[in-house]
Chains A and B, each alone.
Chain A
Amino acid sequence: MSAREKLNDDLILGKHTFRTINDKVNNVVLNQNSHTIPWAVCFMVGFMLLQLMGLVILWLLYRGIGIWGVNNPSMWGWDIINFVWWIGIGHAGTLISAILLLLKQSWRNSINRFAEAMTLFAVACAGLFPLLHTGRPYMAYWMFPYPNVLAMTPNFRSPLLWDVFAISTYATVSAVFWFLGLIPDLASLRDKSKNPIFKGIFGALAMGWRGAASHWQRYESAYIMLAGLSTPLVLSVHSIVSFDFAVANLPGWHVTLFPPYFVAGAVYAGFAMVLTLAIPVRAWYNMKDFITMRHIDWMAKVMLATGLIVFYGYLCEGFFSWYSGNVFEIDMMRFRMFGPYGWAYWMLILCNGIVPQFLWFPKIRTNLVALFIICQFVSLGMWLERFVIITVSLTRDFLPSSWGYFTPTIYDIGMFVGTVGQFTFLMFGFLRVLPMINNFEMKELLYRMTGRGHHHGHTAHALEPDLAGHTAGDGEEH
């Protein structure tokens, strides 16, 4: 990939027609030769790490969660850190698909599909951790208020239970939203596929989509309503995750600032992950016409804005612990900065406070290599943020007699690396079997870019014959 590309105002570059867009997007799925060696490498590495995670989980179920580094006083360790980290990453997908849709941001069209997939796969990784953290994952259904013979209902006053509902709702709505958006594209794949088996699979999944005007009308109505449902989720899910800490009466956790700054952090980490995936993938599959430098530039700007909110959060935490005059709060901040985990705090400030400031420069925002590296810093920084919050507060609470030090074991590392593998495996598997770019939305975008789609009224307008390149219809689907 070339490091520098020209910033362009158009959201679709090159001379594209409906047919070329259709062919390009579907080709990735239908032409098995379109996958390159990088794809195979990523997929296989992901698969191997996934197998490693399987072994770790087997051993964990056999021996119990004592094989992790979690122990008194640090009962939450990498498991909860990783959970919050993954859940946060998912948020960019929902923001792109729901909020940007409601705000009519056309630049969401080429990135929403794989951002939503990223959401789903990140939630799948996140969900594993609390499930295994319970120690008895086969009893997980106890967390739901099913009609049982125990006279027990879950404790609705506990933020941990709110988490259960937040995450399960989030996973459900994201999956439905993603699938609904896929239906028209699955129908296109059904029509273009030559292989009868694939035709059958895509056909069954497309559920009889014919692209009729009545289909589109219902589709859009349902899609906008799902976007309405997803929008509060973007804000609520990570707010509730932050309540896991904020409701607890522990210095460093008991902070009203947590919900907004967790949400901003989630979007921040999420966009870093979207960019981490988008930058290589658009080069490998030659999607630079659809995921343009303009998209990348805007995503970097969102990252900068949310990063500033997060950094402001860190400053506020410091200020308020001093301003509170509370000895425990002040000591907590001192321990964070100069205690045994001081290295993590200053790394965090570097990753989330200093490094994103480079995004102020347009030259860096359009330099893909620099941007990719910054994204890695952001991901690391967001992981460290949860590490600092969880471990420092737990190992330095009110009584010096219950202080301790948290050390992860190889099983902690194995689980984390394993979920990274699972994420990679699922993501690259998805690239191969489903269209990574929203096919019909790109065609609609092209239609609107020609300046004619804005008229929603019933007035007929004169045809402009000179719209060369944009007028060719997608013959087979009419």
Chain B
Amino acid sequence: MSQPIYAIVAEFGDPDDLLVAAEKVYAEGYRKVEAYSPFPVHGVAEALGNDCSKTRWTCFLSGVAGGLGGYQLAPDDTRSV
């Protein structure tokens, strides 16, 4: 009867319950936590300590690269093949 516990799953009937639970779980010190929902519940990701700075940085750097690439399209009579 002493099987190890790999993970615990809980189902919530209401998005707000999920939000409350997420905050509590995070406050208890759990970090390997994920919440699933069929639509975005604002605040849950933040409550679990996620931030999406990676997306923002990727977008920013892609934008800079695209902008610089765009300037390369400018006609240049002197360039060779």
Residue positions of A touching B, CB distance < 8 A: 18, 22, 145, 147, 149, 151, 153-154, 156, 184, 188, 210-214, 216-222, 225, 440-441, 443-444, 447, 452-453, 456-458, 460-461, 463, 471-475, 477-478
When distances are taken between beta carbons in the complex, the residues of chain A under 8 Å from B19 are: 458, 460
On chain B, the residues within 8 Å of A461 by CB distance are 16
Judge whether B52 and A213 touch: CB under 8 Å. Answer: no
> Given A147, A210, A440, A444, which contacts B36 in the complex, CB threshold below 8 Å?
A210
Measured in the bound complex, the distance between the Cα atoms of B40 and A441 in whole Å is 9
- Chain A residues with Cβ below 8 Å from B16 are 452, 460-461, 463
Using CB atoms and an 8 Å cutoff, list the residues of chain B in contact with chain A.
11-17, 19-20, 22-23, 34-48, 50-52, 54-56, 59, 73-77, 81
Min distance, Cβ B8 to any Cβ of chain A, angstroms = 14
Max chain A Cβ within 10 angstroms of own Cβ: one of B14, B17, B48, B54? B14
Contact of A216 among B23, B40, B54 (CB under 8 A): B40
**B43 to A222, Cβ gap below 8 A?**
no
Tell me the nearest residue of chain B to A214, going by C-beta.
Answer: B50
What's the nearest-Cβ distance from chain B to residue A164, in Å?
Answer: 11
Q: Which residue of A lies closest to B34 (CB)?
A: A212
Contacts of B39 in A (CB 8 A): 18, 184, 216, 440-441, 443-444, 447
Q: Quick one: which of A188, A453, A457, A475 has the most chain B CB within 10 A?
A: A453
Cα–Cα distance between A157 and B22 once the two chains are bound (Å): 57
Let me know if B23 and A477 touch, CB within 8 A: no
> Chain A contacts of B44 at CB under 8 A?
213, 216
Partner of B13, one of A216, A222, A453, A471: A471
Given contacts A460-B19, A460-B23, contact A213 B37 (CB under 8 A): yes
Assess whether A18 is in contact with B35, with CB atoms less than 8 Å apart.
Answer: no
Cα A213 to Cα B21 with chains together (Å):
13
Contacts A220-B40, A452-B16, A477-B36 given: A156-B75 contact, CB under 8 Å? Answer: yes
B39, B41, B59, B74 interface centre (most CB from chain A within 10 Å)? B39
| A114 CB to nearest B CB, Å | 19
Residues A219 and B74 in contact, CB atoms below 8 Å apart: no
A447 CB contacts on chain B under 8 angstroms: 15, 39, 41
Number of A-B contacts (CB under 8 A): 114
On whether the beta carbons of B34 and A478 are closer than 8 Å, the reply is no
Task: With both chains docked as a complex, state the minimum distance between the C-beta of B69 and any C-beta of chain A, in angstroms.
Answer: 11
Nearest CB of B to A169, in Å: 10
Among B20, B34, B52, which residue has its beta carbon within 8 angstroms of that of A221?
B52
Contact, CB under 8 Å: A153 / B75 = yes
Q: Is the CB of B38 within 8 A of A456?
A: no
The reply to whether A458 and B45 contact each other, CB–CB distance below 8 Å, is no
> What residues of chain A lie closer than 8 Å to B36, measured between beta carbons?
210-213, 477-478
Residues on the B chain within 8 Å of A219, using CB = 40
A457 to B16, CA, bound (A): 11
Residues of chain A with a CB closer than 8 A to B51's CB: 217
Contacts of A460 in B (CB 8 A): 16, 19-20, 23
Please state if B52 and A217 are interface contacts (CB–CB under 8 Å): yes
6 contacts between A and B (CB under 8 A): A210-B36, A213-B34, A220-B40, A447-B41, A471-B13, A473-B15
B23 and A213 contact, CB distance less than 8 A: no
Contact partners of A216 in chain B: CB under 8 A: 37, 39-41, 44-45
Most buried by A among B15, B38, B75: B38
Q: Is the CB of A188 within 8 A of B45?
A: no
Chain B positions within 8 Å of A441 at CB level: 39
Chain A residues near B23: list those with CB within 8 A. Answer: 458, 460
Q: In whole angstroms, how far apart are the Cα atoms of A245 and B35 in the complex?
A: 54
A473 to B52, CA, bound (A): 26
Q: Is the CB of B47 within 8 A of A458?
A: yes
A221 pairs with B55, CB closer than 8 A: yes
A444 cross-chain contacts in B, Cβ below 8 A: 39-40
A456 surroundings in chain B (CB, below 8 A): 42-43
Q: How far is the CB of B27 from chain A (nearest CB, A)?
A: 10
> Which A residues are CB-close (under 8 A) to B11?
473, 475, 478
With A222-B59, A456-B43, A463-B14 known as contacts, the answer to whether A217 contacts B74 (CB < 8 A) is no
Contact check: which of B13, B38, B50 meets A217 at CB < 8 Å?
Answer: B50
Min C-beta distance of B43 to chain A, whole Å: 5
The minimal Cβ–Cβ distance linking A157 to chain B, given in whole angstroms, is 9
CB of B13 within 8 A of CB of A212, answer: no
Asked if B75 and A145 make an inter-chain contact with CB atoms under 8 angstroms apart, the answer reads yes
Which B residues are CB-close (under 8 A) to A184?
A: 38-39
In Å, the complex CA distance between A18 and B13 comes to 11
CA distance A218 to B73 in the complex (A): 32
Which of B35, B38, B47 is the one whose CB lies under 8 Å from A474? B38
**Cβ-defined contact, B75 with A478, below 8 A:** no
In Å, the complex CA distance between A212 and B66 comes to: 30
B20: nearest residue on chain A (CB-CB)?
A460
A221-B56 CB under 8 A given contacts A214-B45, A216-B45, A478-B37: yes
Complexed CA–CA distance, A211 and B77 (Å): 52
With A and B bound together, what is the CA distance between A220 and B45 in angstroms? 11
Q: Using Cβ atoms and an 8 Å threshold, which residues of chain B touch A471?
A: 13-14
